[in-house]
Amino acid sequence: MTLTVRAPAKINLHLGVGAPREDGFHPLATVYQAVGLYDDLTVVDADGWSVDVAVSDWMDRGQVPLGGDNIVDRAAALLAAHHGLEVRGTAHVDKSIPVAGGMAGGSADAAAALVALDRLWDAGTTDDDLLELAARLGSDVPFALIGGSALGTGRGELVERVADHGSWWWVLVPSPTGLSTPEVYRHFDRLRPDAPAVPPVPEALLDALDAGVPHALAATLHNDLQEAALDLRPDLGRLIEAGESEGALRGMVSGSGPTCVFLCEDPDAARAVAGGLQEQYDVVLVAGGAVAGAHTVTYG
Ligand code: ATP
């Protein structure tokens, strides 16, 4: 049997970060949106277990760990242990989501692996168990399973769908060099010693999402990690200014960066902003949201 599962990149429309908890994780109040940029994971029945990865031509394959250290290996081991099964099959990942880009590409692969291997092994994992295994793999993995637009609390792993009546258009500008998520959080801790124990839920942004009005959403986008990311990477500030002067409603750092995302009025505006930015930046992508979470695209 061969099957391919596709999982989306995420944008944090709002990323509210609190002071680190005793377990070292930061409490979050975040609003995720899944956007139309995907990693595809194909699994095939086989004796033994292996993972290999191919990346889009603008990405550096060397940044993705292999030899047992990929998050797909961890997802396979966790699912197999949950059911008392042997880890078997070959997994091939086609990556289009930037690596270490703040768009949760590794989390997308982990979610895709859970869905694909559950089917390949005919394991019949319940939705609740899949979400629980996903949370153990990483804070963003449960969201990659459910997709759409969702509120994330806890350390981001407690997800609930939110009302979204918009059709949102984004320009995405990945960076040739990644930014380490832990490093950005460490810098945030230095900059914001007064961060709250529990960050507040962004009600105005949830209203804008529900109303489906791009200008209203643009006015409420917020990322608590942006200041830290811009401090570490001042070039991103110039990129955000460039996108906004090309006509984006609003530009921001995606998650912990360095990918920057630009909300645009409609698809034509997104293409115009992308065209302008392409004169200065090598890789400029256009994606719509919100899209589905990890789902099977071919099966046979
Ligand atoms: P997040 O926004 O969730 O912090 P990110 O999008 O910034 O994540 P990822 O692409 O998920 O970053 O990768 C983070 C690190 O995870 C990489 O630097 C890499 O070493 C490791 N990794 C393990 N498996 C994968 C995978 N399948 N794809 C990408 N990175 C992986």
Q: Return the number of other C-beta atoms located less than 10 Å from residue 43's C-beta.
A: 26
Q: Is there a binding annotation on residue 300?
A: no
pLDDT of residue 217: 98
- Atom 17 (ligand 1) nearest CA: 100
Residue 61 — very low, low, confident or very high, per pLDDT cuts 50/70/90? confident
How much is the ipTM here?
0.94
* pLDDT-above-90 percentage for the chain: 92
Handedness of CA 255, 261, 266, 267 (dihedral sign): negative
Q: Is there a binding annotation on residue 100?
A: yes
Burial class of residue 293 in the structure, from the number of CB atoms within 10 Å of its CB (0-12 exposed, 13-18 middle, 19+ buried): buried
Residue 48 has pLDDT above 90, yes or no: yes
Instruction: Give the list of residues 6+ apart from residue 27 with CB closer than 8 angstroms, or none.
Output: 17, 18, 19, 21, 153, 154, 155, 197, 198, 199
What values do phi and psi take at 228, rounded to 5?
Answer: -65, -45
In this predicted model, what pLDDT tens digit does every residue of 67-122 receive, in sequence order?
A: 889 999 999 999 999 999 999 999 999 999 998 888 999 999 999 999 999 999 99
CA of 107 from ligand 1 middle (Å) equals 7
The CA distance from 216 to 113, in Å, is 36
Pocket lined around ligand 1, Cβ cut-off 6 Å? 63-65, 70-72, 93, 99-107, 109, 140, 181, 255-256
Instruction: Give the list of residues 6+ apart from residue 233 with CB closer than 8 angstroms, or none.
Output: 175, 179, 257, 258
Least confident of 14-18, 64-68, 168-172, 250-254: 64-68
Instruction: Give the list of residues 6+ apart from residue 65 with CB closer than 8 angstroms, or none.
Output: none
Instruction: Write down the catalytic residue from 10, 39, 73, 164.
Output: 10
Q: What domains does the chain contain, in order, with CATH numbers?
A: 2-162+295-299 (3.30.230.10), 168-289 (3.30.70.890)
pLDDT of residue 176: 85
